[in-house]
Amino acid sequence: MKPQIQALAAEPVIRLEDVQRHFGSVHALKSVSFSLFAGRALALVGESGCGKTTCARIIARLDRASGGKLLFRGQDRTARGTGSEERLYRKDVQMVFQDPFASLNPAFTINHHIARPLQLHGDDKPKAERDDEISKLLESVGLDPAVTRQKFPHELSGGQRQRVNIARALAVSPSVLVADEPTSMLDVSIRKDILDLLARVKRENDLAMLYITHDIATAAHVAEEIVVMFAGQMVEWGHTATVLAAPKHPYTQLLLSAVPDGGRRFVTGGSARFLEQAEKIRALTRPISTAVEQVGDNHYMRALVASN
């Protein structure tokens, strides 16, 4: 028997299409287009102020695009939907923020933080069943439920708090997880553990994940695909390993050159030399080019000189 149609590429869970965002005269996003797929992560990488959080907030519907489209499972969700559509979307698309402390309420136990989304989004379950669910969620992020449940946020380390935030996001069985610089406020020694955890929960829950970082060295830990952003536009994107092995855009090359040898530290940028180089690249990429060059298999870059 002949297959009826050739294997279709998986449909994206989330798609941004030519998304723009202005804040007054600040053009935070110029034309951003990418897709998130189930069971895969995309790393959004670039220096502070390049527009990463704006992308995250638009995907999580905490902000609206000034132009372009937001698609969810092929449906245009750019415009505000009905109350129940918006609630369902917010359940499906969860976010983990940079500051693991600010997102937890100091007055409540960890148990409460996990129980609450289960109550809000789940059906009414007997207490024993709910307790069991809370324990499983805490275990799934590497926390001992017996020790952790009755603690308050201030009694946990930053890494443990971020684990709680991940468990809380998973409590509502989302299909999308947006992690905005989830390790940048954590101790360097535990960053890799949290990234490994994100990679595992992505796999186990078939999550479409957006992993945002200013640290290009960490992209490969979590993400199959990468988008490098510079000044509100995508400058290079594609398969993470390919882009990192043979970066073509000078900005990607600059980011990689700032990664210290041997992975001693997970940081980039900030130095005077880095900022000076970035300024040169800014001049090089102005005016904005709309031309995109394919430079390899699943590897693209924005042309350096405007095509018109």
Ligand X SMILES: Nc1ncnc2c1ncn2[C@@H]1O[C@H](COP(=O)(O)OP(=O)(O)O)[C@@H](O)[C@H]1O
109 within 8 A of 154, measured Cβ to Cβ: no
263 within 8 A of 220, measured Cβ to Cβ: no
* From ligand X, Mg ion, none, interface partner of 290 (C-beta below 5 to 8 A by class): none
d(Cα 52, Cα 70) in Å, to the nearest integer?
16
Restricted to residues 33-52, the positions that interact with Mg ion (CB under 5 A) are 52
Q: Report the nearest approach of Mg ion to the CB of residue 263 (Å).
A: 23
Q: Report the nearest approach of Mg ion to the CB of residue 162 (Å).
A: 16
Binding mask 39-58 for ligand X (x = CB under 6 A): -------x-xxxxxxx----
Q: Report the nearest approach of Mg ion to the CB of residue 51 (Å).
A: 8
Binding mask 5-34 for ligand X (x = CB under 6 A): ------------------x--x-x------
Among 53, 148, 218, 285, binds Mg ion (CB under 5 A): 53
The residue among 118, 203, 196, 106 whose CA lies nearest residue 156 is 106
* From ligand X, Mg ion, none, interface partner of 50 (C-beta below 5 to 8 A by class): ligand X
Q: Report the nearest approach of Mg ion to the CB of residue 158 (Å).
A: 18
* From ligand X, Mg ion, none, interface partner of 49 (C-beta below 5 to 8 A by class): ligand X
108 binds ligand X (CB under 6 A): no
Q: Report the nearest approach of ligand X to the CB of residue 213 (Å).
A: 10
Q: Report the nearest approach of Mg ion to the CB of residue 52 (Å).
A: 5
Total binding residues toward ligand X, as defined by CB under 6 A: 11
139's torsion region: left (phi>0), alpha (psi -120 to 50) or beta? alpha
Q: Indicate the residue among 98 and 119 with the shorter CB distance to ligand X.
A: 98
Q: Encoding tokens for residue 190?
A: 């535990």
d(Cα 62, Cα 175) in Å, to the nearest integer?
17
Q: Indicate the residue among 48 and 75 with the shorter CB distance to ligand X.
A: 48
| Burial (0-12, 13-18, 19+ Cβ within 10 Å), 179 | buried
306 within 8 A of 251, measured Cβ to Cβ: no
The CA-based angle 250-30-98, given to 5 degrees, is 80
Contact stretch for Mg ion (CB under 5 A) within 53-61, 218-226, 258-266, 294-302: 53-61
d(Cα 223, Cα 37) in Å, to the nearest integer?
11
d(Cα 130, Cα 305) in Å, to the nearest integer?
58
Q: Indicate the residue among 266 and 300 with the shorter CB distance to Mg ion.
A: 266
The residue among 223, 222, 208, 225 whose CA lies nearest residue 92 is 208
- Binding residues (CB under 5 A) for Mg ion: these are 52-53
- Binding residues (CB under 6 A) for ligand X: these are 23, 26, 28, 46, 48-54
